Structure 1
Amino acid sequence: MEENKPWALVADVLGEGGHLQALAHVLQQHFTIICHRDFLKDPALHGPKVQALLMWKYLPAAEPALLRLLPALRVVSSGGVGIDHLDVAFINSLGVKVANTPGVVADATADLAMTLLLASARQLLEGHRIARDPMTLSLPQDLMGHEVTGATLGIVGMGEVGYKVAQRSKGFDMEVMYHNRNRRSREEEQAVGATYCQSLDELLRRSDFLVVAVKLTPDTVGLIGRRELSLMKRSATLVNVSRGVVVDQEALVRALRAGTIRAAALDVTHPEPLPRDHPLLRLPNALITPHMGINTYATARRILQRVVDNAAAAVRGLPVPNEVTRPNL
């Protein structure tokens, strides 16, 4: 019965009237859910009931002020792989477990990385604008794109997402090179036809398209900055599906304006969304999408199911399948 289910606090997007209401039944199988906005109407009443905080795209934010209102909390279960938005050490200090959802976002994110690469290379948005423009009376002959087939693809970060991007690039006969903290096995490299670059600088110099798919750590903040952009080909395109702060956005604006690189295609920025007067939004050679890499119904369902499975295990006192035990680096 509903009253016997443990309570879970969820983002408003997942609750009554939320954009993902169609998937709420995944949560309701195991939990009585309460939306953040309803929780805030009477935290003293609802707080002692909540045993699980279920996060979707960083919300509800697991901030100390909120966590201290949840004395019965057993777990913070976050959708997605990254944990840079979580103070794991602090949450654990409250006797609360932390979990994430590795292994379920890579396909959708890699799909979007290739979508951004192709759309930027072939000037898809400009073509769409011209085709729909009521003033268009004849089709332009000078809307030229850049060849993807046979081009050199550089991948920075050959984790789950990076490897999936390499798999997809085989269909375009791309020459795949990658730079990663740890080299993949020879068998894994051969499976996608990838060549390891010990030096990031070498990868930057040789890539026609550079896909950034690293995890956010202190070492990757500002990884692609003025110096790195200056090493890239003037005809190169930067694709970022990792985190916005991995790329120095001021340096990127200057590089795009000066023609240091040809274009950028970004699913992530900092902040999100960008201020409406941000110069990146006015550059014709910058394609920006609203952090939608995981936004497919199938992926959302898999993420939510994993979020629920992790939380249900924690509430029952069972081993948490995807528990995050290390503190933030």
Structure 2
Amino acid sequence: MHHKIVALDAWYVPIPPDLLNLPPPCAYELKGCEKQLISNDDIHEAVRDATIIALTHTRLDASTLSAAITPNLRLIVAIASGTDSIDKEQCKKRGIMVLNSPGTNADSVANHIMAMYFACRRRLLMMQKTVLRTDEWVKHGTITTLMNSKNNDAPISCNEEIIGLIGYGAIGRRVAQLCRALGMTVLIASRKGAVSDAVPTVDKQKMVGTEADDARTPFVEVLRRSSVLVLCLPRNLETLNLISHDEFQMMSRRTIMINVSRGGIVDELALIQALKGGMIDGCATDVFLREPSGAGDHWKEGDSPILRLNQAEAEEMNLLVTPHVAWYSRATIDGYLQTFKQNVEDWCAGKARNIVV
């Protein structure tokens, strides 16, 4: 069979035209979209004859996946671990297989998480701005108090930290490994609402934190005990607004929250209120409900409310933002391409792997 492969996000992750080596009698032609397609009309036009679609984050809704628009479509390959941009129910109805690329970005995202942690806990951006833009250091001899928490406590060190992981896939496991190496205690959250959440909690301080201990801790207990909360889980109907007003009230005032999962898992308005009210000590996020989103002076109605804040407000709240770049590294790109290659070649050979639908 001669496959027509459309790479919707070739502008984002370019695919070499000679990457694939399909088993005979399969052959292919690859069409890469060199700029982002925004409107459904443009997306429909691009994929109309496709038998295989590759994408990273372009949205494929039910209309795009209808037989009228994509009559020949048989396979969708996500060059990413997340597949929330794909209407999977429509794929199930039509028998379109969906594959993803799990774990390929784990090391890069874990590195980004650790960078965010240190930047927030030790207020590194505030330190740089104060040194470069003011004479506070010269005037006072020290500016260590600017590193204090909102409770005016000195920053705690790694061996005092309790890391709560919400999501324990490849990224969560890599973060756990790094944190344990730094002497941190690691808690792995069970699913929110699991029966174990109703069980009275006990002090497990001496029972957790070792590499061999991957036991789950009740979700509510993780919120209450963690000094750092890391979100690295997929977005779906169960995880939308997983962290909102009630959850922030359970957290410690010294908690730093780090979100590298997806926008919508944290209630953004509730987050702003928690930061302004000092309910948590800070937050670092790489993801937003709307992406891309205007920010600061470029913010428009409908953009992420987090990014409506100006630089001074963000500094006051100890809020660090990055534009969905945690995944980005040479190793991730190489891994994405190799996994895409393997996914398509194996599917053509009747040995599909990394199946989502």
- Structure 1 pair 195/234, CA: closer, same or farther in 2 (3 Å)? farther
Normalised by the length of structure 2, the TM-score is 0.75
- Structure 1 pair 200/271, CA: closer, same or farther in 2 (3 Å)? same
- CA separation in 1, counterparts of 2:43 and 2:104? 35
Aligned 1:248-287 pairs, distance under 5 A = 248-276=267-295, 277=299, 278-281=304-307, 282=309, 283-284=314-315, 285-287=318-320
User: Do 1:175 and 1:194's aligned partners in 2 also have CA atoms closer than 8 Å?
Assistant: no
For 1:324, the aligned partner's letter is V
Aligned 1:36-185 pairs, distance under 5 A = 36=33, 47-48=48-49, 50-56=50-56, 58-59=57-58, 61-67=59-65, 68-133=68-133, 138=137, 141-142=143-144, 143-144=146-147, 146-150=155-159, 151-181=161-191
**Which is worse superposed, 193-202 or 69-78?**
193-202
TM-aligned CA deviation for residue 83 of structure 1: 2.4
For 1:304, the aligned partner's letter is L
User: Do 1:148 and 1:172's aligned partners in 2 also have CA atoms closer than 8 Å?
Assistant: no
Match of 1:9 among 6, 9, 17: 6
The alignment yields a C-alpha RMSD, in angstroms, of: 3.1
State the 4+ residue runs in structure 1 displaced beyond 4 angstroms: 25-31, 37-46, 135-140, 193-197
1:256-296 Cα distance to aligned partner (Å, 9 max, x none): 00101110111111112344345523232211111112111
Ranges in structure 1 where 5+ consecutive residues have no aligned partner: 184-188
- CA separation in 2, counterparts of 1:45 and 1:86? 16
- CA separation in 2, counterparts of 1:258 and 1:41? 44
Partner residue, 1:304: 337
Q: Does 1:323 align with 2:355?
A: yes
Q: Does 1:227 align with 2:246?
A: yes
- Structure 1 pair 72/100, CA: closer, same or farther in 2 (3 Å)? same
Aligned 1:170-249 pairs, distance under 5 A = 170-181=180-191, 192=211, 194=213, 196=215, 198-249=217-268
User: Do 1:176 and 1:193's aligned partners in 2 also have CA atoms closer than 8 Å?
Assistant: no
TM-aligned CA deviation for residue 157 of structure 1: 2.1
- CA separation in 2, counterparts of 1:174 and 1:195? 14
- CA separation in 2, counterparts of 1:249 and 1:203? 20
- CA separation in 1, counterparts of 2:85 and 2:260? 17
Calculate percent identity across the aligned residue pairs.
26
TM-aligned CA deviation for residue 305 of structure 1: 1.9
- Structure 1 pair 132/215, CA: closer, same or farther in 2 (3 Å)? same
- Structure 1 pair 19/214, CA: closer, same or farther in 2 (3 Å)? closer
User: Do 1:104 and 1:302's aligned partners in 2 also have CA atoms closer than 8 Å?
Assistant: yes
For 1:149, the aligned partner's letter is C
Normalised by the length of structure 1, the TM-score is 0.81
- Structure 1 pair 210/194, CA: closer, same or farther in 2 (3 Å)? farther
- CA separation in 1, counterparts of 2:34 and 2:6? 10
TM-aligned CA deviation for residue 163 of structure 1: 1.6
For 1:152, the aligned partner's letter is I
- CA separation in 1, counterparts of 2:268 and 2:43? 41
Ranges in structure 2 where 5+ consecutive residues have no aligned partner: 23-27, 149-154, 197-207
- Structure 1 pair 296/45, CA: closer, same or farther in 2 (3 Å)? closer
Higher helix share: 1
- CA separation in 1, counterparts of 2:233 and 2:261? 6
TM-aligned CA deviation for residue 7 of structure 1: 2.5
Aligned length: 307
User: Do 1:265 and 1:287's aligned partners in 2 also have CA atoms closer than 8 Å?
Assistant: yes
